[in-house]
Amino acid sequence: MPWTLPSRRSLLTGTAGAVGVALLSGCSEPEPEARTGPSAEASLERRIREAAVRDSRALLERYDATLAAHPSLGGRLAPLRAAVAAHAAALAPEAAGAPGAAGASEASGAGAPKAGAPEAGESSGGPAGSARPAPSGAPGAAGAPRAVVPPKPADAVSALADAERSLAENRTVALAEAPGELARLLASVAACGAVHHHLLTTPGATA
């Protein structure tokens, strides 16, 4: 059979089909490797860190409100409050990869702060004396109302203990999906929170 030129209609049909395949290929989802590569892991780590920092700052504000309502608890709560401030600094995304960042969360079993950690009454990451604890019920740093502090010191300490335990449990769950070094850091901070809970619920215990 002699060879003949293809008709104009067949050429147009073939071209349209090729363009359609190209468009579909260009709009297809990226390969699984692209969604689970280094950039995806870095994004996941940042999200986990940001959430952990928010939790630490919320706990820090609870300590500040309690200290403002019950100054007599300063000797007992100040070391724990300083350790929580150190946790917030170590968990910050900016601290990722910084030498010694992980160690900042590893306060001693008594929850004692590391050198340079903010003292009670200081704002996290701010200069000494830059921010004093606001009265109970005053707006927090983000404009959200502070936690209501029970009027009795013993009840206020118990509320802090509950907050420490809840946060430690949440961090234990979160570390399951955290990558590498961040998982170790979360485990350390969660363990420290469990120690804080023990100190706050044990009569006569001191940090």
Strand partners, 42: none
Nearest of 64, 31, 47 to residue 141 by alpha carbon = 64
Pick 145 or 202 by higher pLDDT: 202
Per-residue model confidence (pLDDT) at position 203: 83
Question: Per the domain annotation, does 163 fall within a domain?
Answer: yes
Question: Per the domain annotation, does 128 fall within a domain?
Answer: no
Question: Per the domain annotation, does 154 fall within a domain?
Answer: yes
- DSSP single-letter state for residue 139: B
Provide the domain count of the chain: 1
Question: Per the domain annotation, does 53 fall within a domain?
Answer: yes
- Total H helices, total E strands in the chain: 6, 0
Per-residue model confidence (pLDDT) at position 24: 39
- 53: helix, strand or coil: helix
Question: Per the domain annotation, does 86 fall within a domain?
Answer: yes
Question: Per the domain annotation, does 109 fall within a domain?
Answer: yes
pLDDT digit string, tens, across residues 133-156 = 444 344 444 445 567 899 999 999
pLDDT digit string, tens, across residues 49-65 = 999 999 999 999 999 99
Confidence check: pLDDT of 100 > 60: no
DSSP line for 27-51: HSPPPHHHHSSHHHHHHHHHHHHHH
Q: Kindly report which listed range (5-19, 112-126, 141-155, 158-172) carries the lowest average pLDDT score.
A: 112-126
- DSSP single-letter state for residue 202: S
**Domain extent for 87:** 41-121+145-207
* Residues 206 and 199 sit within 8 Å (Cβ to Cβ): yes
Other CB atoms closer than 10 Å to residue 185's CB: what's the count? 26
Instruction: List Cβ<8 Å contacts ≥24 apart for 46-49.
Output: 46/93, 46/96, 48/174, 48/177, 48/178, 48/182, 48/186, 49/91, 49/92, 49/93, 49/96, 49/182
Question: Per the domain annotation, does 65 fall within a domain?
Answer: yes
Confidence check: pLDDT of 86 > 50: yes
